[in-house]
Chain A
Amino acid sequence: MTDSPLVQDFATDWDHSDPQWVADPYPIWDDLRQRCPVAHTERYGGGWFPATHAGVSEIAKDTDNFTSRTVVIGNGRPTELDLPAPIGVAPPITSDPPFHAIARRLILPAFAPGPINALEPMIRELCSKLLENMGDADVVNAGTQYAQYIPPGVIRGMLGFPEEDIELFLEFVHIILEGIDHPVEERIIEFEPIEKYFVAQMEDHLDNPRDDLTSYLLNVELDGQNLAMEHVFGTMILILVAGIDTTWSAVGSAIWHLAHHPDDLERLVNEPDLMPVAIEEFLRFYAPVTMARLVKHDMEYQGCPMKVDDWILLGFPAANRDPVAFKDADKFIIDRAENRHVAFGLGIHRCAGSNLARLEMRVALEEFIKRYPRFDLAEPEAVTWAPGQIRGPRNLPIRILH
């Protein structure tokens, strides 16, 4: 909300799009954790922000009192009959029990470690090509030249869409992510070329089935029947919406961290086996994703008078910094042994793409530090952070040290 008044007190008037929150939310959350711990706002039609691990955990698991009908905060509220625009429901992320489990079971096998781990060579080749294109410049942009391109490249490959269509695919991704809060009518028009292209790809897959995610979704059965083409299309859009700026942000934040923590960079370069443990700490410390819920009915929660359709901003990144849940929560410890972070959420809506996100992060970082074992921030003050519910660096100029 760029035209909204600046926040004076986040305890009574929080806004996750306020410039102060976007630039550095962590001191705000620390303060709220001590003072509230559930902050309130009248913005967006009213909402609450639990700042503690306990609060986030409790609400994430409480599907009786909180609904996932909409998971992205906006000014409007969907009614029971409205389907989130423009693709109808986006199951399972916008589903509650009992339907949630059915929708989730359809997609989980495609994102289980078996099929995901098989993608490693494809992801490595993609990262290595991007690095090759970045060449031997003194300054590279790890956001706009690298992190940004990895998830869409991977998903294009998973869907089995032609490699030569990558530019078109990136354009579609841009339309999907940028227009997320456009009015429904605009959204329908924006989606026409996307739907046309995706339907053509689906038809091609129906004629020539192959071992990819598109054929999987076209073949999977619900009650003995294949999914309708619209359902498959909706699922593909969900995968694009959920799988791109999230992982892009996670990769970018990790590179940003390494660029101004040379000790951590050196350890990763010298101890490649540390990478999986380091990735969990990157995920804890720089968790990119905050989800939303709606309050189902008037109720009191921790002394807060919650009203039906009030927003809940479910701050997994804030939970990850709660000193009650994590020892030295405000310290990045690259070899942290015990790390119950909740970057992928908790409960039945655990990120379905978590295995893929981890794999992309690992390969992207391995390839980056192999190509550039020493680097720092070219212009620390030029780094910009995405506003809203997905946090990560967008402009990320990196100086390569030779």
Chain B
Amino acid sequence: MGGPVKVRIDPEICQGQGRCFSIAPGIFDFDDLGNGVVIGDGTLTSDTLELARLAQSNCPEHAIFIEE
């Protein structure tokens, strides 16, 4: 508790639906296969948390995790 809030994509679950990097291109990017990847170490700020949550709530595969 109290540490940085981080977002991650589980690569085993991600199927490249492409929603995260369309909704939040500052937080997510895509790899050569079109699967979602987190930019940097995934640390979220109070400014980016809401957008990350929006991306999470649009992932059909439920592959995005936000953890404290």
Residues of A that sit less than 8 Å from B by CB: 105, 108-109, 111-114, 276, 280, 337-342, 344, 346-348, 350, 354-355, 358
B22 within 8 A of A: yes
Q: In the complex, what residue of chain B is closest to A105 when comparing beta carbons?
A: B33
Residues in B with CB closer than 8 Å to A358 are: 18
A113-B34 in contact given A346-B15, A355-B18 (Cβ < 8 Å): yes
- Which one of A280, A340, A341, A355 lies within 8 Å of B34 (CB-CB)? A355
CA distance A162 to B60 in the complex (A): 38
B59 within 8 A of A: yes
Interface pair A350/B33, CB less than 8 Å apart: no
Interface pair A340/B58, CB less than 8 Å apart: yes
CA distance A114 to B58 in the complex (A): 21
Interface pair B57/A340, CB less than 8 Å apart: yes
Query: CB-defined interface of B20-60 with A at 8 Å, one 1/0 digit per residue?
Result: 01100000001111100000000000000000001001111
CA distance A116 to B30 in the complex (A): 13
- Which one of B15, B58, B61, B62 lies within 8 Å of A339 (CB-CB)? B58
Residues in B with CB closer than 8 Å to A113 are: 18, 21, 30, 34
- Which one of B15, B19, B22, B57 lies within 8 Å of A347 (CB-CB)? B15
Closest 3 pairs (CB-CB, A-B): A112-B34, A350-B15, A108-B33
B18 to chain A, nearest CB (A): 6
Q: How many residues of B contact A (CB 8 A)?
A: 19
CA distance A141 to B27 in the complex (A): 42
A350-B16 in contact given A105-B33, A109-B32 (Cβ < 8 Å): yes
Residues in A with CB closer than 8 Å to B57 are: 337-338, 340
- Which one of A112, A338, A339, A348 lies within 8 Å of B30 (CB-CB)? A112
CA distance A273 to B59 in the complex (A): 21
Residues in B with CB closer than 8 Å to A280 are: 19, 58
Q: In the complex, what residue of chain A is closest to B14 when comparing beta carbons?
A: A350
Interface pair B60/A341, CB less than 8 Å apart: yes
Interface of chain A: mostly helix, strand, loop or mixed:
helix
B26 to chain A, nearest CB (A): 15
A346-B34 in contact given A108-B16, A337-B54, A355-B18 (Cβ < 8 Å): no
Q: In the complex, what residue of chain B is closest to A346 when comparing beta carbons?
A: B60
Interface pair A276/B22, CB less than 8 Å apart: yes
A63 to chain B, nearest CB (A): 13
CA distance A111 to B22 in the complex (A): 15
Interface pair A354/B33, CB less than 8 Å apart: no
CA distance A337 to B58 in the complex (A): 8
Interface pair A112/B22, CB less than 8 Å apart: no
Interface pair B18/A354, CB less than 8 Å apart: yes
Residues in B with CB closer than 8 Å to A276 are: 22
A242 to chain B, nearest CB (A): 16
Instruction: Specify which of A280, A340, A354 lies most central, judged by the most chain B CB atoms within 10 Å of its CB.
Output: A340
- Which one of A111, A337, A342, A355 lies within 8 Å of B60 (CB-CB)? A342
CA distance A108 to B14 in the complex (A): 14
CA distance A338 to B30 in the complex (A): 21
CA distance A347 to B61 in the complex (A): 7
- Extra inter-chain contacts (11) besides given A114-B30, A346-B60, CB under 8 Å: A105-B33, A109-B34, A113-B18, A337-B54, A338-B57, A338-B58, A340-B57, A340-B62, A346-B61, A348-B15, A354-B18
A102 to chain B, nearest CB (A): 13
CA distance A355 to B58 in the complex (A): 16
Interface pair B17/A354, CB less than 8 Å apart: yes
CA distance A105 to B30 in the complex (A): 15
Residues in A with CB closer than 8 Å to B61 are: 346-347, 350
23 A-B residue pairs with CB within 8 Å = A108-B34, A109-B33, A112-B16, A112-B31, A112-B32, A112-B33, A112-B34, A113-B18, A113-B21, A114-B32, A280-B58, A338-B54, A338-B58, A340-B57, A342-B60, A347-B61, A348-B15, A350-B17, A350-B61, A354-B18, A355-B18, A355-B34, A358-B18
